[in-house]
Every structure is written in C-alpha cells, then in structure tokens.
Structure 1
C-alpha cells in the first residue's frame, strides 16, 4: 500500500519530457532546478523530474526515424538495474547513479524524481543477468509476452518472488540515491490504444509489486502511473497503490485535446483526495518541443492556457510544468504563480453541467471552507455564460475574479460573465458584502 501520508496536496514540479524528449542531460537538469529554486519554489513548485531514457546511450540521435532507438545500448549494472548514461550525467560515474544529482537538487530545497519503464531490461534478460537478493536470473523473471507497444527497452516482470526481488532491488537503489518521486510508465493502462480492452489493466500486480517495494524502503516516494487513460473501474486500486495516475494519453498543446479533458475530468471528479490524484498530465506551457525537433512557444492561446491551468487546479490534478524553465517568460510566470488559482488545488471539484459549447464547475476547499465557481467557454466565439449559484450556496453574494482581479455581484443568484473563446471566468465566492480593495489586485 502506497503511503497516503505524503503528497497531501497535489505534487507540483517540472518534468523534462515536453522540451527535451529523451535527450535531457545533467547540466540542463541542474539549470532548470536553479530556476525553480530561485523563481518558483515559494509558490509550491518543488519536484524536478527526469523523464524517459536517462539510461539510453545516444538517445535522440535517430529522432528523424525513431523516438526510441530499437534495442539500443543502455547503461546497466551487474544486477540488471539500469543506470544513468555517464556521458549525459557525468556525476553518476563510478557507480554513484543519481545520488550526486539528487543531493544537488535537495541542496536547493527541492525534491528529485525519475521516470522508469515497467519491467526488467530486455538486455538483462537476454544476457541472463543476476538479480540482487535472489537466485533467479533476469531471463527467469522476465515475461517475454508482456512488452510495451511503443518502447523497446523492457519486458514485463512475472508475478513471482524473483520479480518482487527485482523491483525491491531497483526501488531500494532509487531510495539510496535520494529519489522522492517515481513516474512509472506503461503501467497505468497497458493497452491505451484500446482503453477498455481486457489488457488495459492486466499488469495491476506489477503496480502492487512496485508499491510494496517503495513501502519496504521506508522513504517517502511519490508513485505516479502513466500513461492513461486510467481505467475508472479500477479507481480503488489506484487509490490503494499509487499517489497519482494519468487520466489521459500524452497531452499536448492542442485545443481539441484540452476540450476533451472536460469529459475525462467529469469521469474522475469523485476520485480526488489527499495522497491520491487523477493526473491531467503535464502543462505544455512556454517553450516546448526542442527534443522533438520542433522547438516552439506553446500553441495554446493565452485564454486556453488560463482554461487549462484553472481546470487542472480545480480538479486537484498534480501540476508538472513541461516547458523549459530557463526560457520562462513573464506571461508563463504569471500563470504559474497565481496564488488565487493555485489555492484551488486541495479542493473537492463538482461539475454543474457540460455541453458542446460550455461547462461550469464549482469547488470547495474542505478545511478553509473557501468556495469557487468557474465558467468555461468551449466554443469558438465569445459567449455570455451564466449559472445559478444560490441553488448550491444560498448565501453566496459575490465573487472575486481569480485572473483579472475585482469583484462581481451575483445579481439574482446568477454568476454571469462574457467569456472569450476557449476561455474561462473563475471566482472565489464571498458570502458577505466586503468592499473591494485595490491592494488585492496587486
């Protein structure tokens, strides 16, 4: 059982994938960590997460043909455990792994995370390599019939003592390095192209094995599961064994993907709680795409960016910034440091309605009693939107605009606003007629 004493609010941080894909190196990770520590830490941003293929040699060198080089060379120790590529992560040389880099991240007052693929390296199975703490070798533990659809690095692990010993050995090593966050891929939905197939959750026992291995370390490690869409019928299992799980496949800067998230959030709105979070995926903000050969500013309009950030926060989704922090612009900084919107993160969300053109949500912060209401314009034209608030909170009199500042009165019990295409109007509800103060807008 994964600890629910950690991640009592949704984890917030930076992930290397949206900008670097498979190619990130130690210098780049350190540079992004410094920006987070200097500019974002006070707003709750704290996890620095290295995404996929940190162990792969020559990663990204064949990007024109492959995202992942087929059966490429990997750095691996004598116990079948993948290690950081020393050319990209020079502080790992001499068997130190990510220990030195994790120590540096911790020295900045931040936390350190890595991405892993479900299973055991195919290179270890083909080489009949040893497993620490068990007499079976990797070929006996690997399940050659369980492979990832899109990555060639691993075989699934059999549900056997040797398989558990393998997971215990790698998670124990990560704990020794100082890892605080593990994003495990090809496990949340193992048939995400056909999300409701019988295979979609066929490796649930591997989730349990990883969860047990984390518990054995005694270290507070957040367990994040990817990719989605997560299987709603298995929500109890995610809650029991993980801290966050992806409710979508890879999310990028495309309006149709963002619009589709409203349906996904509707499905998962009742499954948010301390230590357990449906994950809307990374925030493709600022500068992204360099490792994919397509460096660009996010394609989302400013209104779409506000809609995304607002929806993620009121849903209590973890927030993982995908853009390059060393190229952080003023607008993106404004988004990431809006206390009024970030305050929604521990809330309990509730969708009031959704149709093709608009949606409305409320959220309640159970400890403080703060209440929120948000109107979303899903159409391509400016729209006058309204929703009755008195049927939910009879004493609601007015709202404080979370993005623009200022106060609006809820005349006749209606929240009413003219909302830009793909934009939103978000308010913190007030129940007593307090005067608006200009200093609140600063």
Structure 2
C-alpha cells in the first residue's frame, strides 16, 4: 500500500508539472502567436530616449503605414528609469518622461499600438539604471498598472551560470503572469545559457540567441573566433549562422530572437556603430530582412523611421516578405544547404505553400541552379519572387543570379 501511495503521489506531481508546462506554452501561443513587430529605441536613441521621441515615432509609424503592416509596438529600451520612490516603486525619469509611462501607454493604445519597456535581472541595467532584481513582483505590478504590453528583460550584472539565470527569469516570468495584465516576456541573456531550451518554461515568449548585432555584414574573423571575448562586433552573417541552427525551438509563442533590424541605420554612430558597425549596402540590408523573415524572427526596426529614404522604406514595408515572417504556422526556416558559397533555406507556410531563400555569402556575383528535389520538394511549383514580383509557373528548378550578399526569396505554390 505504501508503494502504491508513493506511486500515486508521484503520478499526481507528474500530471501537475505537465499541466503547468502545457498551460504556460498555451498562454505563450495566445500572447505572441506570431513574432512581435515594432520599433526598438536602442540603436537610434541609446539611453537618450524621451517621451516626446516615443510620441513622434508613434505618429510617424501611423502616418507612413508601418502600423497597418503589423509594426504595432514601440519597445522602450534602457534609459527610461528615474530610480524608486519612497515606497520602492520604480519610476520613470521625470525630465525624460514628465507625463509618466501610463500616459504614454494610453497614448499608444489610443492609436492602436502597444508599449514595450525594459528592465534587467540584476540591481542595475546595462546602462547603470535602476533594475528589477529583488523587486520582480512589485515592478511587474507597476508595469501592469501602467498598461505595459511587453517587457524586455536584460541580464547585465547577473551571474554567468545557467541555473541562476533560469531562477531569475522564472521569478520575473511568474510575477508577470500574476500581474493582472497580459505582458509578453522577452528573455535577453544573449544566448549564452541556451535559453531556447528553457525560456518558454519560465514564461518567456521570445529569447535572444546572440550578443548585440552591429551595423555591418560580417565580423570577417577566422572560424572559431570568440567574437565577444575578442571585442569584435557581430554582423548580420555572424548572427545568422547562430540563429539558423535553432529552428526546432521556434513556434507560436516561442520565438528565437536574433536581435534588431539594422536596415536603414547607414553607419549611424551609437550602439549599432560600435565594434566596427560602419554600415551595410542596401543589398545586405535587404538580405537581413529576408533572412530574419525566413527565420520567423521578431521584426524590430531601429532606424529613424521619421526620415526614411525610399530604399529603406521598400525593404521594411514589403508586404510579401512580412507575410512570410508572420505566417500563422510559425515555422522557422530550416537551413538545407550551407557551404562556402551558398546558404539555402526552406520554410513551410500555411495552405501547403513554401518559402525558399538562397543567400550568396561570397564577395562576388554567383549564378547557378538548384533542383527542388535537392531540397526535398517533389513536383512542379509556381514561383513568386517577393522582391522583384516576377512570377514563373510550372517550375521544378530554381535558377539564380545573385549579387554579393544578396538573398533570393521565392514563395512557392504547388501546381494544380
């Protein structure tokens, strides 16, 4: 009887754990069914962000049509904090945000937009501002009272081991779930503790997979170089080569986050310009947009959208590539081919369609062809080029002619 009782007890615990995990994952899918989209303040404003900046960005996003395309968040990064009041409630900087965060959230909500905010799992943030360690429940309740919709939770100043990170993120994840408001939780420990294996179980909806991206194509470092240790900034290709290996962990409510879009920064001084971030070509910026969308990545614009040139606008506002990112299946593309010249990605879409991306990683133009059978597709398909808008019917071979660092993206529909 004692053994039977112990078995029943252990069985109940197992059922409870499975229920808790399934409930958390179901909640994640509900809050972030597709990758979040919007404007992140860090690369352009750094910690100099103000209330008037946020309002002007929001107005511009509405006027130029970004919000109608799905870019409906403004994510306020580090630098908004003004310490704590006498009751230890976290407060915004009164000079930068004289109306308070709630008034700003109300303003965005009135425009059909959402507000994201930033904190850190230590005493101080990366920029040395007030953070949330030890005040998780209080801060989560404050964020909820303000009407915040999203929290980016950084990891500067925290211990390096994985177990501590899991505990600290779990504490904030639980606090957000108990805050009385649905708040998307972005885990930002830069991928060093493999968050793709645990972040969704502590309440995370997305997790950074790498260190910060810089405004450049590649670090151009020898294979095996520890870029962070050597103080070399990560470029688009460096980030891609890490994130592309993690496709099995992505899905509705659980997104791999390869960091912000650098499209249109054009070598701007500031965070993205550090560590060799001197800018990219428009071909390279278009490739980042293509590759991030194929990988079902969050799309976080970081250039000055109030003053976009036509080339930048065409990249960020291409409805066809955005549709691939926001496809309801939420499948991250699998990298099928990865050699010295090419990377080829295959992404399943709803209605039995596919997206294929072909990246030329060389410094020269590259031409060739790929049979669909080589990447696991049988039969003939109609091809639609999401950038050139060209269509080709009844094809079973993809022919490509790519500039250096260009990515061809085709949407494939099965021939009737």
TM-score w.r.t. the length of structure 1 is: 0.77
Are 1:408 and 2:392 matched, yes or no? yes
Partner of 2:260: 282
Which SS does the other structure have where 1:175 is aligned?
Answer: helix
Cα drift, residue 227 of structure 1: 3.9
Partner of 1:236: 197
Are 1:265 and 2:267 matched, yes or no? no
Cα drift, residue 294 of structure 1: 6.8
Cα drift, residue 291 of structure 1: 5.2
Partner of 1:194: none
Partner of 1:313: 293
Cα drift, residue 353 of structure 1: 1.1
Are 1:48 and 2:74 matched, yes or no? yes
Are 1:16 and 2:41 matched, yes or no? yes
Partner of 1:341: 321
Cα drift, residue 261 of structure 1: 2.4
Partner of 1:106: 109
Cα shift readout 1:134-174 (whole Å, capped 9, x = no counterpart) = xxxxxxxxxxxxxx7x55446884xxxxx4xx211110010
Cα shift readout 1:44-68 (whole Å, capped 9, x = no counterpart) = 110011110211xxxxxxxxxxxxx
Which SS does the other structure have where 2:178 is aligned?
Answer: helix
Partner of 1:169: 138
Which SS does the other structure have where 2:346 is aligned?
Answer: strand
2: CA distance between counterparts of 1:364 and 1:290? 38
Q: Structure 1 stretch 312-321 or stretch 334-343: which is displaced more?
A: 334-343
Partner of 2:283: 303
2: CA distance between counterparts of 1:260 and 1:422? 13
Flag the 1:320–1:298 CA change in 2: closer, same or farther, 3 A: farther
Cα drift, residue 386 of structure 1: 2.9
Cα drift, residue 335 of structure 1: 1.2
Partner of 2:181: 219
Cα drift, residue 225 of structure 1: 1.6
Flag the 1:385–1:226 CA change in 2: closer, same or farther, 3 A: farther
Cα drift, residue 220 of structure 1: 1.5
Aligned ranges for residues 415-434 of structure 1 at < 5 Å?
A: 415-432=398-415
Q: Is the 8 A contact 2:40 2:74 kept in 1?
A: yes
Cα shift readout 1:182-235 (whole Å, capped 9, x = no counterpart) = 001117x957xxxxxx62553210111111111112311111121413533x42
TM-score w.r.t. the length of structure 2 is: 0.81
2: CA distance between counterparts of 1:274 and 1:404? 29
1: CA distance between counterparts of 2:309 and 2:150? 27
Question: 2:96 aligned to 88, 99, 113, which one?
Answer: 88
1: CA distance between counterparts of 2:283 and 2:272? 26
Cα shift readout 1:235-277 (whole Å, capped 9, x = no counterpart) = 2311222011111111021111211123212321111100110
Q: Is the 8 A contact 2:47 2:127 kept in 1?
A: no
Cα drift, residue 430 of structure 1: 2.4
2: CA distance between counterparts of 1:293 and 1:18? 5
Q: Is the 8 A contact 1:410 1:416 kept in 2?
A: no
Flag the 1:82–1:12 CA change in 2: closer, same or farther, 3 A: same
Q: Is the 8 A contact 1:373 1:426 kept in 2?
A: yes
Structure 1: runs of 5 or more not aligned: 56-73, 93-97, 122-147, 158-162, 192-197, 434-442
Question: 1:186 aligned to 145, 150, 155, which one?
Answer: 155
Partner of 2:84: 76
Partner of 2:211: 249
Question: 1:354 aligned to 315, 338, 347, which one?
Answer: 338
Flag the 1:416–1:33 CA change in 2: closer, same or farther, 3 A: same
Question: 1:381 aligned to 359, 364, 377, which one?
Answer: 364
Which SS does the other structure have where 1:217 is aligned?
Answer: coil
Aligned length: 365
Q: Is the 8 A contact 1:190 1:201 kept in 2?
A: no
Flag the 1:42–1:262 CA change in 2: closer, same or farther, 3 A: same
Cα shift readout 1:8-28 (whole Å, capped 9, x = no counterpart) = 000000011110101011111
Cα drift, residue 290 of structure 1: 5.5
1: CA distance between counterparts of 2:131 and 2:119? 13
Question: 1:399 aligned to 369, 380, 383, which one?
Answer: 383
2: CA distance between counterparts of 1:12 and 1:156? 25
Partner of 2:118: 115
Q: Is the 8 A contact 2:213 2:239 kept in 1?
A: no
Flag the 1:119–1:16 CA change in 2: closer, same or farther, 3 A: same
Q: Is the 8 A contact 2:119 2:132 kept in 1?
A: no
Partner of 2:55: 30
- After superposition, the CA RMSD in angstroms is 2.5
